[in-house]
Amino acid sequence: MTVLLGSRGTSQAGQPTWWASLAVRSASLPLPAEHRWRYRQEFLAELGSQVGATGSVVGVDASPQTLALVRRRTQGQDNLGLVQGDATALPVAEASFDRALSVQVLEYLPDPAAALGELHRVLRPGGRLVVWDVDWSTLSWHSADPDRMRRVLAIWDGHLADPYLPRTLAARLGSAGFGDIGVAGYSFASTQFTPDSYGVAILPLIQRYLAGRDDITEETAGQWAAEQHQLGEQGEFFFACIQFCFTATRSG
């Protein structure tokens, strides 16, 4: 989901503000739906509280199911709007927002330049942007069968348009007309096999994606996931990757 904020808050150049700090929490939430949507409700509600009665928060998502679920859980937020739309053609007016936030959206898009152009279009001069995406080449994941793990991760890369997008994102932001570009890396690192660990949370997603792709059978995908559960029980689980936070400003 792309989140747009109409708020006249100020920030120190190059430094994340309160809304970017909220994005840190949003970007690190576990992926299972029961956790993700509960947090997204709280996240959007807090954004609405921060911008105040005279501000506004608009969430744009291509999925009507996603919007319906978030809408039900944010009833009563008068300054919160939810709009169905595409990140490469945002259904909002030019120069109508002061802040924009995109969390793991651009890595799925075949044309991230178009999405960045749209974010530039809808921000007012001086408006601030925060973009989060993972460079999946930073992933380190323990397995007693490293060859199988390499095959699994190579196939998993295929679920994204660009699994290494952060490497080129600063240049892409500059090409889209943004300035004052900054970047910081945040690690998802865990040795604990717990539901709120990022590596544990994405296990079932990867297992479902793998089955039937290339030479990975449903049985092989199940064996791969079962090994991770076993490593967790033995105290040998390890997962780490880096998600990058880019900040930028629309020039006047």
Contact 89, 60 (CB under 8 A): no
What's the pLDDT score for residue 52? 66
Q: What is the CB-side half-sphere exposure of residue 142 using CA atoms within 13 A? A: 17
Model confidence, pTM: 0.81
Q: How high is the pLDDT of residue 26?
A: 41
**Calpha distance 171→92 (Å, rounded):** 25
Q: CA dist 88 to 2, 56, 105, 108, 247, Å?
A: 11, 21, 11, 12, 19
pLDDT score of 6 more than 70:
no
- Strand (E) or helix (H) holding 226: helix 218-233
Q: Say which residue the tokens 């690192």 belong to.
A: 189
pLDDT at 235 over 70: yes
| CA 45 – CA 131 distance, rounded (Å) | 20
pLDDT tens for each residue of 125-170: 998 898 989 999 999 999 999 999 999 999 999 999 999 999 999 9
Looking at the domain that runs over 2-250, which CATH code has it been given?
A: 3.40.50.150
Calpha distance 247→250 (Å, rounded): 10
